[in-house]
């Protein structure tokens, strides 16, 4: 395969890999949540177990930059993808809570390698005038895969192992296309990264773009909560399994519909302005979901609307981060975004599980609403703080 073909189809192949990764991730959380609920596992333990995927992502994140500089993008993505394939294939081998937790951990590590390599590669080779669009497409295809994943829960009625084997097979097929890509490395001035120097760059990136990283956190929180906690909550309030498999993809469908338009709008009207809008509308949508939770149609509509707005917070947050940090800090910025996403994804299912188990009279959806309201207030504080700094600077200059 010649280099020109590789460069021409590189973006398509990376996007396809991200889509199948989203499919796997979207399938795994509700699938395991339903299996454990049917086996009588407590909602708090179920939620804690769901953190395994994101704990793996979190543990792997600080170690990603140095191998990227040494080996390039392609080997990182290949190794991560193969780890996911093998882990999925091992699920039917032994049904054990702790064995499955280890597999979830490995899938988290593999997904981190896959996403970090792909995301950093795309932001590196995308020209400035197409960067926002490319990141939106990246998020769009992840959302498409993620939205299709929960449909696989229906296959539990046929055989428990079937969803795992189909997902592993699809992942392997897409993984083979990566072999045709030509390997590339980060820019010359970015080389020389190490584990310790990565942490020093984290502090620099955080000073530039701390507010942007709250949006990967918020997306991880709500995504993991919805997929890890909602199936359990739905079954407990009387919604049956077929209805869950219809309601759950509504968020991802809404995200898919508006992912690219919101990316374009953020280029035109400013990333911060769009983030203000989507965060408050997401808060209102999840609050409404808590009020109509007894209605399958009502939940579908509310989650669809919520997906339209906050389903793009990850890609918008990444774009906002790229706007704020120097280019040589982009690898560290992508790692930090992954860490915040993982922290949100870990805390989401655990807090949601505690809410379901101990706060009987409070809707699970209000947990997500409160989180979005806090993020909105933080964004407002950051704007006011920046405004004060400008006023002080202007006063000093006068």
3-state SS, one letter per residue, for 13-26: HHHHHHHHHHHHHH
Q: What token pair was written down for 198?
A: 């990565």
pLDDT exceeds 80 at position 102: yes
pLDDT exceeds 70 at position 3: no
Residue with token string 């990376």: 14
DSSP-derived secondary structure letter, 362:
S
Evaluate whether residue 127 is within a structural domain.
yes
Residue with token string 């992508």: 334
Evaluate whether residue 187 is within a structural domain.
no
What pLDDT was estimated at residue 209? 86
Terminal Cα-to-Cα distance of the chain (whole angstroms): 62
Using alpha carbons only, give the angle 31, 36, 39 rounded to the nearest 5 degrees: 130
Each residue's pLDDT tens digit, 9-55: 888 899 999 998 889 888 888 888 888 888 888 877 887 787 788 78
Residues 6 or more apart whose Cβ sits within 8 Å of residue 374: none
The residue with greater pLDDT, 284 or 241, is 284
pLDDT band at 275 (very low <50, low <70, confident <90, very high): very high
Evaluate whether residue 185 is within a structural domain.
no
Please count the structural domains in the chain: 1
Mean pLDDT score, 235-256: 82
What percent of the chain is predicted at pLDDT more than 90? 24
pLDDT exceeds 90 at position 343: no
Instruction: Please state the pTM of the whole predicted model.
Output: 0.74
pLDDT exceeds 70 at position 228: yes
Exposure pattern of 246-260 as b/e (b: 16+ CB <10 Å)?
A: bbbbbbbbbbbbbbb
Evaluate whether residue 189 is within a structural domain.
no
Evaluate whether residue 186 is within a structural domain.
no
Evaluate whether residue 188 is within a structural domain.
no
What pLDDT was estimated at residue 392? 38
Mean pLDDT score, 279-288: 94
Evaluate whether residue 147 is within a structural domain.
yes
What percent of the chain is predicted at pLDDT more than 70? 90
Residue range(s) defining the domain that contains residue 232 = 3-180+198-397
Least confident of 89-103, 227-241, 292-306: 227-241
Of these ranges, 89-93, 336-340, 355-359, the one predicted with the greatest mean pLDDT is 89-93
What pLDDT was estimated at residue 187? 66
CATH of the domain at 256: 1.20.1250.20
pLDDT band at 234 (very low <50, low <70, confident <90, very high): confident
What pLDDT was estimated at residue 215? 93
Evaluate whether residue 145 is within a structural domain.
yes
Each residue's pLDDT tens digit, 114-148: 988 888 888 777 776 677 778 888 888 887 887 78
Average pLDDT, the chain: 83
What pLDDT was estimated at residue 191? 46
């Amino acid at each position: 395969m010649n280099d020109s073909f590789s460069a021409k189809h590189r973006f398509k192949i990376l996007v396809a890999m991200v889509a199948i990764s989203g499919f796997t991730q979207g399938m795994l959380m509700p699938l395991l949540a339903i299996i454990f609920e049917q086996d009588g596992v407590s909602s708090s333990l179920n939620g804690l177990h769901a953190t395994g995927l994101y704990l793996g992502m979190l543990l792997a994140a600080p170690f990603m930059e140095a191998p990227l500089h040494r080996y390039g993008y392609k080997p990182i993505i290949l190794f991560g993808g193969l780890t996911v394939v093998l882990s999925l294939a091992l699920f039917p081998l032994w049904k054990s809570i702790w064995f499955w937790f280890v597999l979830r951990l490995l899938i988290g590590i593999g997904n981190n390698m896959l996403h970090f390599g792909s995301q950093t590669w795309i932001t590196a080779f995308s020209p400035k005038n197409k960067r926002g669009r490319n990141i939106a497409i990246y998020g769009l295809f992840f959302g498409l895969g993620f939205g299709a994943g929960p449909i696989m829960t229906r296959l539990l009625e046929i055989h428990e192992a079937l969803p795992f084997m189909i997902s592993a097979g699809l992942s392997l097929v897409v993984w083979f296309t990566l072999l045709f890509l030509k390997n590339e490395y980060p820019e010359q001035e970015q080389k020389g990264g190490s584990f310790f120097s990565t942490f020093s760059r984290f502090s620099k990136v955080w000073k530039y773009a701390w507010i942007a990283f709250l949006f990967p956190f918020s997306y991880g929180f709500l995504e993991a909560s919805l997929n890890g906690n909602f199936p359990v909550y739905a079954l407990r309030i009387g919604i049956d399994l077929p209805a869950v498999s219809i309601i759950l993809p509504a968020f991802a469908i809404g995200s898919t519909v508006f992912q690219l338009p919101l990316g374009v709008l953020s280029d035109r009207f400013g990333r911060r302005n769009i983030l203000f809008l989507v965060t408050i509308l997401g808060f209102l949508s999840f609050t409404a979901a808590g009020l109509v939770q007894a209605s399958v149609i009502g939940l579908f509509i509310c989650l669809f609307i919520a997906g339209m707005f906050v389903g793009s917070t990850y890609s918008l947050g990444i774009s906002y981060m790229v706007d704020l940090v120097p280019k040589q800090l982009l690898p560290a910025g992508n790692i930090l975004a992954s860490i915040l996403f993982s922290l949100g994804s870990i805390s989401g299912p655990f807090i949601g599980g505690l809410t379901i188990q101990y706060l009987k009279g409070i809707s699970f959806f209000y947990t997500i609403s409160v989180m979005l309201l806090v993020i909105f207030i933080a964004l407002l504080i950051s704007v006011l703080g920046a405004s004060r700094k400008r006023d002080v600077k202007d006063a000093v200059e006068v």
